[in-house]
């Protein structure tokens, strides 16, 4: 029922022992895990995951500029340019090394409005300005300037698909059809009010 979305629990989260905590957050809100595995990403897999168009790279550049402004630092000092496409391209180059630096957990989550619900729970890209209560806001303080001073992308723990269309492409990239399991969670009857769980008054 509902949508499916793809989540990567990135190497920093696995290394910091946060995979259980992160999965728990998704489980507790009622999302269903329909596929899961631990992987070492290859360059080919990441090529299949990111479709790095200029528009997407520019978007990363714009976010970086915004993150620097909110953290009170000059984007040109940090990135050596103010051009969003150049900034995005620079970050993209570092992103592969980060994602191949250790094991990741890949999940497919299923549920009502799963794509947007998961993005909200994951939070804003740059942890230093992500809202408290989100995974990135609660478990990291990595900032745009720190990330770029140390020459790495933001270690922000989690990736989540940004649209239903992206989720479909990402799921096919990481999982074969037969690795996605259809099963019924015991609380689905309560959440979605199947007949056997609805209460009737005594004597009805
Ligand atoms: P999101 O993961 O929130 O959808 P993007 O798709 O824009 O974000 O960026 C992909 C990844 O690139 C981010 O998750 C993060 O690891 C890295 N990244 C993006 N913007 C920055 C930035 N300004 N500084 C450092 N790393 C960044």
Distance CA 132, CA 150 (A): 24
134 lines ligand 1 (CB under 6 A): no
Q: Could you tell me where the beta strands, DSSP code E, fall in 40-162?
A: 104-111, 158-160
127 lines ligand 1 (CB under 6 A): no
95 lines ligand 1 (CB under 6 A): yes
Q: Above pLDDT 90, what percent of the chain?
A: 67
For the chain, give the mean pLDDT: 91
Taking each helix axis as running N to C, give the angle between helix 19-28 and helix 114-122, from 0 to 180 degrees, rounded to the nearest 10: 140
Confidence band of 166 (pLDDT split at 50, 70, 90)? very high
> Is the separation of the CB atoms in 64 and 87 below 8 Å?
yes
Nearest atom in ligand 1 to 60's CA: 7
Residues across the chain: 204
- CA–centroid distance, 156 to ligand 1, in Å, is 8
**Residue 127 pLDDT > 60:** yes
| Active centre residues (catalytic) | 159
Sorted by where each begins, the domain ranges of the chain are 4-40+102-203, 46-100
Mutating to test ligand 1, I would choose from 75, 134, 156, 162 the residue with most ligand atoms within 8 A of its C-beta, which is 156
5 lines ligand 1 (CB under 6 A): no
**For residues 182-199, average pLDDT:** 75
What's the topology of domain 4-40+102-203? Alpha-Beta Plaits (3.30.70)
Q: Which residue has the higher pLDDT, 146 or 197?
A: 146
Confidence band of 190 (pLDDT split at 50, 70, 90)? confident
Q: What is the pLDDT of residues 6-60, one digit of tens each?
A: 999 999 999 999 999 999 999 999 999 999 999 999 999 999 999 889 999 999 9
In this structure, the residue with its CA closest to atom 10 of ligand 1 is 60
110 lines ligand 1 (CB under 6 A): no
Rounded to 5 degrees, φ, ψ at 112 are: -65, 130
Confidence band of 202 (pLDDT split at 50, 70, 90)? low
pLDDT of 78: 83
**For residues 132-146, average pLDDT:** 91
Q: Provide the b/e sequence for 184-204 (b: ≥16 CB within 10 Å).
A: ebeebeeeeeeeeeeeeeeee
């Amino acid at each position: 029922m509902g949508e499916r979305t793809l989540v990567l629990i990135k190497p920093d989260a696995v290394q910091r022992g946060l995979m259980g905590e992160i999965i728990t957050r998704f489980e507790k809100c009622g999302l269903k895990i329909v596929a899961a595995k631990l992987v070492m990403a290859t360059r080919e897999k990441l090529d299949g995951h990111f479709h790095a168009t200029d528009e997407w790279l520019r978007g990363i550049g714009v976010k970086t500029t915004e993150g620097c402004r909110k953290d009170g630092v000059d984007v040109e000092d940090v990135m050596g340019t103010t051009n969003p496409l150049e900034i995005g391209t620079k970050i993209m180059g570092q992103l592969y090394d980060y994602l191949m630096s250790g094991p990741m957990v890949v999940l497919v989550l299923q549920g009502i409005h799963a794509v947007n619900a998961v993005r909200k729970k994951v939070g804003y890209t740059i942890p230093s300005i992500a809202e408290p209560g989100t995974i990135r806001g609660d478990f990291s303080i990595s900032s745009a300037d720190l990330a770029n001073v140390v020459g790495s992308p933001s270690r922000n723990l989690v990736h989540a698909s940004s649209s239903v269309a992206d989720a479909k492409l990402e799921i096919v990239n990481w999982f074969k059809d037969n690795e996605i399991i259809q099963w019924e969670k015991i609380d689905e009857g309560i959440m979605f009010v199947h007949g056997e769980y609805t209460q009737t008054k005594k004597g009805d």
